Structure 1
């Protein structure tokens, strides 16, 4: 686990992407082979970790120019363009850097406790938002709002990724 103060490691992140993508593929395959259609009435959506491209790197650079973002978020966007998991629990979404920039322009930063303001970079299917503050901690909104309270969700982006990665593994059980 990433201890607060340590930076997100590119190699760890790439390995996490590979392992989690493989687990996600197995989950989606089992959904199609089981009672998913009977239970839910529709097939699963596209669930994927979408890797970064030259275009998404440019969007990350533009986000960095727009606002000072924590270095771990930059590292994340250097490897991952976005994550869309609508069928993992109630859904998990890591927004692209261009979406984060658009939201920042529209809503600004969010206040998280007594820390420096946080930048919203993810959400769940219930509309709760996830923000990362200057400390590197990840915060979750207590309601589906940009303007209400946030509570600590993880000590770091790595811990946050580990948590949501376990959600994929739990779908297999």
Structure 2
């Protein structure tokens, strides 16, 4: 599915409602205060040169996603960090059983990275912690896995995870 600005705005609105419910229930469910779980909107059009189209569309409307208390945590990095990653701050290529050029745009609380294929602009990978040298991620004992066929499916996965945690806290 191609991500549109309208789709992103609808997704962000649903996530706002889920985050609000989550934050309101968290302390009574777990006995300690939550971290900042939110979808931060972009204040202005982000500089998205060099990013796949769907990721650029996303960053024009959303600056970042922070869900530290959902599972082991889910984070969509700010646009600036993602763009900096293209200059070598983050892996731009994966090698091993699966090889591809990638754009790292997020992470989880366990040290894994989320990357969008730069080749097809769609496939979303989860890159478990492994060796990175010169912008090249080398698969280790746990290989990279496809977590979603495209960015919309990945964002929908985050929405489902947050909704499931909310249902569990009822």
TM-score using structure 1 length: 0.82
Identify unmatched segments of 5+ residues in structure 1.
Answer: none
Give the number of the structure whose residues are more often strand, by fraction: 2
Residue of structure 2 equivalent to 1:17: 12
Over residues 2-61 of structure 1, what are the superposed CA-to-partner deviations in whole Å (9 max), with x where a residue is unaligned? 2xxxx21211111010011101110110113x2422xxxx3101111000112xx2433x
Residue of structure 1 equivalent to 2:115: 131
Q: Map of 1:71-150 to 2, 5 A cutoff?
A: 71-105=53-87, 106-111=89-94, 113-115=98-100, 117-133=101-117, 134-135=119-120, 136-143=122-129, 146=132, 147-149=137-139, 150=144
2:90–2:104 CA contact under 8 A, matched in 1:
no
Partner Cα distance (1:8, 1:92) in 2: 20
Partner Cα distance (2:106, 2:52) in 1: 14
Over residues 100-123 of structure 1, what are the superposed CA-to-partner deviations in whole Å (9 max), with x where a residue is unaligned? 1233322451226244x0010000
Residue range with higher mean Cα deviation, 142-151 or 128-137: 142-151
2:63–2:79 CA contact under 8 A, matched in 1:
yes
Residue of structure 2 equivalent to 1:167: 161
Equivalent pairs counted in the alignment come to: 154
Residue range with higher mean Cα deviation, 146-155 or 45-54: 146-155
Counterparts in 2 of 1:107 and 1:23: CA distance versus 1, 3 Å = closer
Over residues 112-159 of structure 1, what are the superposed CA-to-partner deviations in whole Å (9 max), with x where a residue is unaligned? 6244x0010000111110100131111111335542332211100000
Identify unmatched segments of 5+ residues in structure 2.
Answer: none
Cα root mean square deviation, aligned: 1.7
Give the number of the structure whose residues are more often helix, by fraction: 1
| Counterpart secondary structure, 1:88 | coil
TM-score using structure 2 length: 0.83
Structure 1: which 4+ aligned runs deviate by more than 3 Å? none
